[in-house]
Amino acid sequence: MCQNLNRTIKTGLFLIAWLPTLLFGQDLVMRDFSYRLGQVTYIGKVRCMGSRVIIRSSLQVTTPKGAALDRYVEPVTLTVMESFSIPDGLDEVFLWDAMLAKQYLTIAQGYFQTGTRYCAVNTAAHGRMLDESKKYYQKGKELFLKLGNDASASEVDRLLTLIEAIRTNADYGLAKLQFDEYYSINYKIMKSCICLEDGFDDQYKCVTLK
């Protein structure tokens, strides 16, 4: 699970609670953020200087009540330092919406992880976590549609359909194929949030601190 969460962060888990106007016309702006949503917690600090953004953050997922492994598994936490550039003249509203979409996708995968890694298929806890995951993917889809990113919105629909199939499947061989497809689609739609201009996604850097 750590490996999958680590991969997610390395594709740019930018859960940033800033005011868009703070990105422009200031030498240095710092702002804390904190999201505590049941089994998913994401906290940290954003530092903005010109076109450079630096984020130190911690993502944690915990086992839900009723999970098969809730007595044996400690919370999983990843702490990282991220850095990326934004293009000159980027529309502030567009950037904020893109980062908010990334937030929803991050929370969605956190719930997906708790449901599929800690809970038995067809249990109440498993269903609750997948329902929460779908809810936040749907929020991400709505932002993609607002941004005119119909391709990513369509990929979210594929993901929602796949999660429903995963919900009731107990066949190991089929599950492996489903999970491979899930991570492939999830990676693709997360990456779309940081490809703000050709080449700028290549400037993204991430260091895992814990």
Higher pLDDT, 85 or 188: 188
Give the pLDDT confidence score for residue 155 in this predicted structure.
Answer: 97
pLDDT band of 9, cuts 50, 70, 90:
very low
If you average pLDDT over every residue of the chain, what do you get? 81
| CA–CA distance, 50 with 135 (Å, rounded to integer) | 34
177, two tokens: 């194929």
Q: Is residue 60 classed as helix, strand or coil in its secondary structure?
A: strand
Under a CB-based contact definition with an 8 Å cutoff, are residues 169 and 160 in contact? no
Q: What pLDDT does residue 10 have?
A: 44
What is the structure's pLDDT at 27? Answer: 59
Q: What stretches of the chain show up as alpha helix (H) in DSSP?
A: 2-10, 92-118, 124-147, 150-168, 172-192
Instruction: Give the residue-averaged pLDDT of 150-158.
Output: 96
The tens digit of pLDDT for each residue in 12-61 reads 333 333 334 444 445 576 777 788 988 999 887 777 777 777 878 888 99
Distances (CA, A) of 125 to 115, 118, 171, 192: 7, 9, 19, 31
Entry pTM: 0.79
pLDDT, tens only, 78-91: 898 978 887 877 77
Residue with tokens 């990105």: 23
The per-residue pLDDT for range 95-130, each reduced to its tens digit, is: 778 888 888 998 899 899 989 988 889 899 999 999
Q: Give mean pLDDT, residues 186-199.
A: 83
Q: Is the dihedral of CA 112, 80, 94, 201 positive or negative?
A: negative
Residue 34, beta-bridge partner list? 43
Q: Which tops the pLDDT comparison, 107 or 181?
A: 181
The pLDDT of residue 4 = 55
Pick from 3-17, 131-145, 180-194: least confident: 3-17
Do 183 and 158 form a contact (C-beta atoms < 8 A)? no
Please give the pLDDT value at position 146: 94
Q: What pLDDT, on the 0 to 100 scale, is given for residue 29? A: 66
Q: What is the mean pLDDT of residues 202-208?
A: 82
Q: How far apart are CA 107 and CA 183, in angstroms?
A: 15
